[in-house]
Amino acid sequence: MFGQAETVTIDGRGPGRTFEGLGGLSAGASSRLLIDYPEPQRSQLLDFLFKPNFGASLHHLKVEIGGDVNSTEGSEPSSARSREEFEHPWREYFDRGYEWWLMREAKKRNPKIYLDILQWGAPDWIGDKEFPDSADASALAWDKRIPRNRKKFFTQDNADFIASFIQGAKQYHGLDINYCGIWNETPAGDVWDGPRRDLPWIKLLRKTLDHHGLSKVGIIACDSDGGHDPRAWRITEFMEQDAELKKAIYAVGAHYPSHWATDVAKQCGKALWASEDSTGWAGCSLFSDSPPVMGWGVALEMAKLYNLNYLNAKITKTTICYLIDSYYDSLSFANASVIKANMPWSGYYEVWPPLWAMAHTGQFAQPGWRYLDDGCGMLKSGGSYVSLRSPKGTGDYSVIIETADAKTPQTLTFRMFDGLATGPVHVWQSSEQSQFERQEDIHPANGSFTIKLEPGSIYSLMTNTGQGKGKTKAPPRGEFPMPYHDNFESYPPGKMAKYFADQSGTFEVAKRADSGKCLRQSVARRGIDWEHYPTPEPYTIIGSARWRNYEVSCDARIEGTGYAAVFGRVKSSLLSVSAPPHGYWLKVSAGGRWELKAFTSTL
């Protein structure tokens, strides 16, 4: 039994902000294992993310500017590890890692996709001329290193480094970077209310980009992690006091704003972005042996998030963290994405229901479409809806509806006028039982039509066609192969070795001093840390946390002073705060001293 009809009247020429798209974040080494997938599974995964009218159909890809420091699930390599590399760049510097490859693959599938970049950390050489420091960064106490890092980060060096990254993307890969951020979730002052080193630097970055011919690259500020804390949007208050700062910023970005923004932010005249957001952190698990999957409940919350971000906060672009769960489960946030793909040795992957929640918006609106505020609101019996119009003269429109909080069925009537299309309305629905299935078309009469809504569902209504549900079949799952051995002879020097996930520093294939090849840690100095996850001593991981009763060994060479170590039974690597991972390890120093250890205890 459906309830009494609720009526929505939509003026096709009414007010509304411009929709700027949906994005996915590849950072913190969260996409590390994707590039190691065999074909055709690798292409299938990329299609689910980026191919229009196949899966999520993302409009933005946001990637980390690598800094060789730990940024959550590991470290990502830098395109300039030293001032020498920065001043005398080579093509191979801009082939390190996998983000370049990922951006190319995304662009190949959707030539219109926008590319966003952001730093988590930076190489140590940055800022060393403005703030010379004779002490080794790795030897500084953590509380002493924080102000040093902030001083070094907000320098001309770093602005030039970002400009070189953008220029390298174009020169070596044919990629145009559209937007760049400031510093991920890092307070700009000594405390949030303290001196703001980022504000003058934002203006410096704008001038630097313009000087390098990059005036079309928009700056997003400040990528603060705030939730309902007004300080996440506080930069809008500074913008009202500083015309140059306001002009320098394209859009104001906040992380996890919980579909909320201050009144000052909503009235600042700039686009508001959820530049990192998620509904899935409740579905993932830290250090859990059996983390829950991202199921239908998370999918409903995803649809609700997209709608309420605009309804409540006037947020016009949302980027979800992570793009894909393609890292070892023994790392931090297991099952924190819409696709699980961390078994490249078998080709196995899982596409989870939240991906189809993304498709309900990603396939039914494009950047440049405009929200129609008359067609955006809350349902009386639970749920929400937003309406958008194409900028083309066809009058095409879409309506995205979610009934996550509804307990009973509802009936919703739309009355459309003033330039909106009058043809058939195509309907797609997702429920717990079946996701993203096309339903019978609705044929409006005199510009009006009615739809019946089930609770706990997502609907997308559209006047044009082309949407689709990609269907593939993954191979059976398979654990990491045992026995495993690699002498690295099959890789070119400078490349990653399959399945190795660097947690600090960068491990690359290199020629050995005698003969043959090896895996070499290539970063000489600890960089400017992302302050949430301080970088430990360099190490890389491989294998399975579920292995039992096994042997592990390696041949190692210590170059100069220091030590080498081999680990086993690693439980977790996250948040060790400069300590080793949780496991057993044999440590051998350059002088021949050895220790057998369990985490920080010597056995």
Phi, psi for residue 555 in degrees, rounded to 5: -90, 130
What are the Cα distances from residue 137, in Å, to 125, 148, 532, 573?
11, 9, 17, 22
Query: Cβ atoms within 10 A of the Cβ of 534, count?
Result: 21
Q: Is the peptide bond before 344 cis (omega within 30 degrees of 0)?
A: no
Q: Could you give the CA distance from residue 372 to residue 363 in angstroms, rounded to a whole number?
A: 18
**Tokens, residue 285:** 């698990």
Q: How many residues does the chain have?
A: 603
Structure tokens at 591: 């002088």
Contact 400, 364 (CB under 8 A): yes
Backbone angles phi, psi at 161, to 5 degrees: -65, -45
Question: Which two structure tokens, joined as six digits, stand for 26?
Answer: 């590849």
- Residue identified by tokens 């952001």 is 118
Instruction: Choose, from 276, 301, 402, 508, the residue flagged as catalytic.
Output: 276
Dihedral sign for Cα 162, 167, 169, 175, please: positive
Q: What separation in angstroms does the CA of 91 have from each of 80, 95, 321?
A: 11, 7, 30
Catalytic-residue membership of 276: yes
Catalytic-labelled residue, pool 20, 64, 73, 185: 185
Give the span between the Cα atoms of 410 and 320, in whole angstroms.
30
* 69 in Cβ contact with 530 (< 8 Å): yes
Residue 576 token pair? 């060790």
Strands (E) located in 420-483: 426-430, 437-438, 448-453, 458-462
Please answer whether residues 261 and 315 qualify as being in contact, where contact means their C-beta atoms are separated by less than 8 angstroms.
yes
Cis omega (within 30 of 0) for bond into 391: no
**Catalytic (active-site) positions:** 185, 276
